[in-house]
Amino acid sequence: MNEIVANDRLGAFCRHTHAEMKGAPGGPLVGLTFGVKDIYDIAGHRNGFGSPDWLRTHDAATRTAPVVQSLLDAGADMVGKTHTDEITWSLNGENAHYGTPVNVNAPGRIPGGSSSGSAAAVAGGLCDFALGSDTGGSVRAPASFCGIFGIRPTHGRVSLAGACPLAPSFDTCGWFARSAELLERVGRVLLGGKKGEAPRRLLLAEDAFGLAGEAVAGALAPAVARVSALLGKPERVTVAADGLSQWHQVFRVLQAAEAWAQHGEWVRRVKPSLGPGIKQRAQWAADLDPALVDPARKRREEIAHHMDGLLAGGAVLALPTVPGIAPIRNALPAETEDFRARALAFLCPAGLARLPQVSLPLATLDGCPLGLSLVAARGADAMLLELATKLK
C-alpha cells in the first residue's frame, strides 16, 4: 500500500479493496495521480461497491475497466480505490459500514455521494483527479459540497464497461478535479480529444433559482455574472412547466425500476445488511407498481425532447447544482431524505434528458462551498469543459 493511502486521514480511500497501478511512461496525463471509485473493475481485484456483502459474494475482476485503462495508458498513476455509498444509491456519502469521508472544505458536513471518497480525495489534495459515477447526481452533488470541479458527461459518452451498475439508462462515468484546466485535460483523454463548438447564448433556469431561494440565488449571482460576461445577457427560462419536483418523481420511478432489475435477485438471495436510506429505497423499489413504469418512460422522452429544444443552437443553461450547502453529518433521517428529494429536483433534468453537466465551485454560502452548474446539449461535453476554463 502506497504512502498516500496509508496516510489517508480523510477516510477517502478503501483499505479493504486497495489496488494501485502505474501509468504508462509517457502521455498527456503523465505525472498525475488519480483515485478510482470502488465500482470500477481492476484486474485481479474485487469491487466492494460500498457493501461488505457485495464484496463477499463477488469474484475478482479478470480485466481492468476500459475507462481506467485509458487513464493509465495516458500516463496517470492510479493510487487507490475510493469509498462509495452502498450500491451507489445515495447522495450523502455516509456509509453505514465504512464511514464518512471528511469534507475538508466544509468541516462537520457530508462530502456528498455516492462518489464520496473520490470527491474527498480530490478536495483534500490526496490525488490530482478522481473517477466517480453519476446516476442521479453522484458527481455533481459532491463537487458542489466539497468545492471542486465535477462533470457528468453525456450519457453513453464514456464507457461504463467493467463498472457496477445502478440504473443503466442514467448511469454515467464522471470525474473530479481541483481546477477547470485539469478537468478539461482529463476530458480530452476520455472524450476523444475533439474541441467543442463555441457556446452562443446563456439561459438562466428561473424556476430552479426560485426553488433554491434567495440566499442561494444571491450567493450564486456573481458566478452567473462571470458566465454572462462571456456569453452575454442571459435569457430567463422555465425549465419544467409542471415543476421540477414532478420531474423528480419521473426519475425516482425509473431509477428504482432499473435498480431493482439489476440487483433485486441479489438482494433477495443474499439478504445484504443495507444501511439507512438504502434499505428503504430498495424496499420501495421492490414494492414499486409496474404500471407506473411505462408512463414514466414516456414522460421521460417528452422531457428529453423539451430539453433538446431548449438547448438547441449552442445554448448553455445555468442553475444551482443543488439547493444549498452540504448538510451536517449524522443528521436525522427525515432531514437527510428531505434534502435528498429537494436536491434531486435540481439534478434530475440532465439525467432524464441524458445531457452533460458541469458543477463549478464558484460560490460560497455561510463559509461553505456552493456550486453553479452549466448544462448543454447532448454531445457538447467539450464545449462545457472549455467554457469552464475561461471562467477566471
Q: Partners of 131 in the beta sheet?
A: 36, 175
Radius of gyration over alpha carbons of the chain, in Å? 19
118 is catalytic: no
Q: Which listed residue (70, 90, 138, 144) is catalytic?
A: 138
Q: How many Å apart are CA 243 and CA 253, to the nearest integer?
A: 16
Q: Which listed residue (70, 90, 114, 144) is catalytic?
A: 114
Cell numbers for 262, please give them: 439489476
115 is catalytic: no
Q: How many Å apart are CA 290 and CA 296, to the nearest integer?
A: 10
Cell numbers for 343, please give them: 436536491
Distances (CA, A) of 15 to 4, 76, 130, 231: 12, 21, 17, 46
Tell me, rounded to whole angstroms, the distance of Cα 130 from its chain centroid: 11
Q: Which listed residue (37, 51, 90, 116) is catalytic?
A: 37
Q: Strand, helix or coil at 181? A: helix
37 is catalytic: yes
- Cis, bond preceding 359 (omega within 30 deg of 0): no
Distances (CA, A) of 340 to 86, 108, 113, 242: 16, 18, 11, 20
Active site residues: 37, 114, 138
